Amino acid sequence: VLPNKGSISCTSPSNIALVKYWGKRPVQLPENPSISFTLDTCKTETTLKYEKLENVSEDFQFELFFEGEPKPDFKPKIQSFFQRISEYVPFLKHYKFVIETSNTFPHSSGIASSASGMSALAYCLMQLEKQINPKMSDKEFIKKSSFLSRLGSGSASRSIEGPITIWGEHNEVEGSSDAYAVRFPYDIHPNFADYQDTILLVDKGEKQVSSSVGHDLMHGHPFSSERFKQANKNIIWLKDILMSGDLDEFIEVVESEALTLHAMMMTSLPYFILMKPNTLAVINKIWEYRKETGSKICFTLDAGANVHVLYPNSEKDRVMDFIKSELVVYCQKGQYICDKIGLGAKLL
């Protein structure tokens, strides 16, 4: 039975990839597996209001509000998301929806909100699906939430659970799949407990290249097959590191992955440089500080100029002193976000 009317509120976080997903094939399937830290503070909160229609509609009926304002320019993205998922959630055309969504991070911060936004919406829809199909197991619920999120934005599949998730099939990772992400299925070394991610907002401008254009540029890219092989190797390497707690090796694989992602963009046609001079200044400062102090600080990057500064919780005070005294000058308006490893989507 379809419930008549109601409202569901969920929150879902962003995530930061350690081994990067860059390159996809239809429909939103990754060319290589990826691993990420689920974040804690950078989140989307979404309320889904639903009202059953008298008759099944021809099209999807929804209104969208972002931070309290109607958002017509987000509608096509939701429209194509609904289109993609409708065969898996056949109740969509039986309802009129109002989607109210907001982010805990500033919207023009250059932080991608597609992972948190798409996973929050998928998670709300799954809560409705659970009311319709109460026999669904928790395991099935989580799996399908990640599956639907993936159809919204690939990396969104990794936001449903935490603290570390893997998306993409790999023969050395139990239960891994291209269709959805799974929680890292092995014991995580205590060195990674409460791992910190301070996000330096180096450049808050619009992305020069959308991630779908970026993924497409990996087709016919001169280095793509080597890159996919490397990512597969790095998954095994990082899997061992996450279990052994070797932070020197962690630094090596994570920084190499970040630079490789940008190297792929610099060597595609058309080519892009998404780092800014301040991105490089921050990287050099981090390297100097590490050399001088023996800190286990390192960086990673998304498809943009902002820098994610990663470090163990045990170093929090001294690294924050360093960030405030040496790195904040490179941030636009001195802005940064203190985040850390988190646990995934939840019902509010």
Nearer to ligand PMV, 153 or 268 (CB): 153
Phi/psi region, residue 336 (left: phi>0; alpha: psi -120 to 50; beta: rest), is beta
The residue (of 154 and 312) whose beta carbon lies closer to ligand PMV is 154
| Measured distance CA(160)–CA(46) in Å, rounded | 14
Instruction: Report the residue number, 130 or 257, with the smaller CB distance to ligand PMV.
Output: 257
Binding site for ligand PMV (CB under 6 A): 17, 20-22, 34, 112, 114, 153-155, 211, 215, 261, 302-303
Give the DSSP letter of residue 18.
Answer: E
**How far apart (Å, rounded) are the C-alpha atoms in residues 13 and 345?**
6
* Cβ atoms of residues 310 and 197 within 8 Å: yes
Instruction: Tell me how far, at minimum, the Cβ of 295 lies from ligand PMV, in Å.
Output: 25
Taking the complex as a whole, the smallest distance from the CB of residue 329 to ligand PMV amounts, in Å, to 26
What is the rounded end-to-end Cα distance, in angstroms, of the chain?
24
Phi-psi region of 28 (alpha: psi -120 to 50; beta: other; left: phi over 0): left
Closest-CA residue to 153 (of 181, 186, 114, 127): 114
Of the pair 96, 228, the CB lying nearest ligand PMV is at 228
Rank residues 22 and 62 by Cβ distance to ligand PMV and give the closer one.
22
**Shortest separation between residue 182's beta carbon and ligand PMV, angstroms:** 15
User: Distance between CA atoms of 266 and 273, rounded to whole angstroms?
Assistant: 6
Cα 154 from Cα 22, distance rounded (Å): 10
Pairwise CA distance, residues 16 & 38, whole Å = 7
The residue (of 151 and 247) whose beta carbon lies closer to ligand PMV is: 151
CB 47 within 8 A of CB 8: yes
In angstroms, the CA 25 to CA 328 distance is 39
CB-count exposure of residue 165 (10 Å: 0-12, 13-18, 19+): buried
- Tokens, residue 160: 């449903």
Beta bridge partners of 336: 200
Cβ nearer to ligand PMV, comparing 146 with 295:
146
Residue among 17 and 238 whose Cβ is closer to ligand PMV: 17
Q: Which of 21, 81 has the CB closer to ligand PMV?
A: 21
Which one-letter DSSP state was computed for residue 88?
T
CB of 339 to ligand PMV, least distance (A): 15
Residue 301 Cβ, how far from ligand PMV at the closest point, in Å?
8
